Structure 1
Amino acid sequence: MNVFNPAEPTLSVTEPRSFAHVDIWVFDLDNTLYPHSSRVWPQIDERITLYIADMFGLDGISAKALQKFFYHKYGTTLRALIEEHGIDPHHFLDFAHDIDHTDLELDLSLSTAIESLPGRKLILTNGSRKHAENVAKKLGILDHFEDVFDIAAANFVPKPERRAYEIFLEKHGVDPARAAMFEDLAKNLIVPRELGMMTTLVVPKTVDPFREAFEQDAVQTPHIDYITNDLAIFLKRCLRTDP
């Protein structure tokens, strides 16, 4: 596993595994395709807290504590609310993703890098299709993707559960041996690697104060092939045949 630093131009992406066989590129959305300076995720997090506060009649601090309890127990707050309270997931997603996209900027470097990748490109997210499309459109990358596989398409089974990936692979006819997955959460790369996908962990360039420390760690484990803090530059390196 290699840790990628854009300041180190001699780093080869051909070791320990090459991307030469990859023609299916799978990307998570939140905190993977945009930097935390875009203030997308903090807004969603606040909306989820507000949803819980309204639902249970709690103050903000108590609602946040319950939200984090649900997140750690179930992987996502939505899964907890479906399992324990039978909520309408579509209503929850519409509420959580009703955010301001002002700070989300066009990313020409990322757009060029994704467009240049050979083969198919797909978004695999625990969020909604509408949210993914809104964000990708603002970034200027939406037209480069074949499709968005959202939480509804996964029957509301979230990553990192194996079934979510299996549904995705089956629906889109993806051969994992020819695919690469890019994610900001290390735990969400365990199953993709077990299935045979190349895996890259995308970490923030600077500490994100709105996320927990473990969510930002450059975790070095066997299920992660690469770690990068600059996705656009890393993708361009993936296309190079020389170190």
Structure 2
Amino acid sequence: MRSLDAFCDVDTWIFDLDNTLYPEHINLFAQVDVRMRDFVQRLTGSGPDEAHRLQKDYYRRYGTTLRGLMLEHGVSPEEFLKYVHDIDHSAVQPDPELGDAIDRLPGRKFIMTNGTVSHAEKVANRLGITGHFEDIFDIVAADHLPKPHAETYDRFLTLNSIDPTKAAMFEDLPRNLTVPHDLGMRTVLIVPRGTREVFRESWELEGSADPHIEFIADGLAEFLGEILAEIGRPE
């Protein structure tokens, strides 16, 4: 693991959304997961178990279930995204500590998600952090090509004129940090210890100990506080 002084020259802060900006124990994505399974079941006419297997297979192989459905079944992304993100966001509660920490970070801040702007805005509004971000780069802006595809990071960086060597990326999936690390970003994996075995499939955490993961944090707000103290921006 690198020293926190690696963040001293960072001027752009990039955050994944689901299970990164809000605590994983909320398990908000479980609602999306159920609706994805139901969508696959209706599309294929399969039983719930087979639909779940297909959904997870596409997610693992293509980066998102949507990408697999588009390539294998010609599914309309708009129809899928509207259906799976029609969920109850009330489990997400305001997080003043997180909002304060993000606000005090020097430079620009972005959300980069494989979800939609609409979903991200609802989560950010519930957290009370919406006004801290310059933009939300979603799966539509990525032309439905999800992280961890290198082309998507290139598109995001070019669109926003970001120097990756002066950027930091916060994620909950190790594989989504491989390209950022190769581009020169500081990479932070957010995975609370108490939830790793509860909400994760084993393959999702493959690579957690690899060199492309420079920092691992249990909680985002607390870790940002440590960064702020290191770079001379304490409360």
The two structures have a TM-score, normalised by structure 2, of 0.93
Instruction: Tell me which moved more, 201-210 or 220-229.
Output: 201-210
Number of the residue aligned with 1:239: 228
**1:242 positional shift:** 7.4
CA distance in 1, matches of 2:63, 2:4: 31
Q: What's the CA shift for 1:226?
A: 0.4
The residue type equivalent to 1:57 in the other structure is: G
**2:37 equivalent to 1:49:** yes
- What is the aligned length? 231
C-alpha contact 2:8 2:231 (8 A) present in aligned 1: no
Residues in 1 aligned to 2:207 and 2:224: alpha-carbon distance in whole angstroms:
18
Tell me, yes or no, if the aligned pair for 1:207 and 1:216 is still in contact at 8 Å.
no
Name the structure 2 match of 1:223.
212
Partners of 2:193 and 2:88 in 1: CA distance: 23
Q: Structure 2 CA distance, aligned partners of 1:106 and 1:227?
A: 24
Cα distance in 2 between the residues matched to 1:107 and 1:98: 23
Number of the residue aligned with 1:5: none
Which residue of the partner structure matches residue 6 of structure 1?
Answer: none
User: What is the CA–CA distance in structure 1 between the aligned matches of 2:163 and 2:155, rounded to whole Å?
Assistant: 12
In the TM superposition, 1:130-141 aligns within 5 A as: 130-141=118-129
Of 136, 146, 163, the residue aligned with 1:175 is: 163
Structure 1 residue 119 corresponds to structure 2 residue 110 = no
CA distance in 2, matches of 1:38, 1:136: 14
Unaligned runs of 5+ in 1: 3-11
| SS class of match (2:229) | coil
Please give the alpha-carbon distance, in whole angstroms, between the structure 1 residues aligned to 2:49 and 2:163.
45
Q: Deviations over 1:155-176 (max 9, x none)?
A: 1111001001000001111110
Deviation of the 1:214 alpha carbon: 3.4
Q: Could you tell me which residue of structure 2 aligns to residue 34 of structure 1? A: 22
Question: TM-score, length-normalised on structure 1?
Answer: 0.91
- Note the alpha carbon deviations across 1:125-157, whole angstroms, 9 max, x for none: 001110011111101111100000001101111
For 1:101, give the aligned amino acid: H
Q: Distance in 1 between matches of 2:72 and 2:209?
A: 34
1:219 positional shift: 1.2
For residues 3-34 of structure 1, the C-alpha deviation after alignment (integer angstroms, 9 at most, x for no partner) is xxxxxxxxx622xxx10100100000011111
2:200 counterpart residue number: 211
Higher relative contact order (CA 8 A, sep 6+): 1
Is the 2:121–2:130 Cα contact (8 Å) retained in structure 1?
yes
Gaps of 5+ in 2: none
Other structure's SS at 1:177 match = helix
3-state SS of 1:73 partner: helix
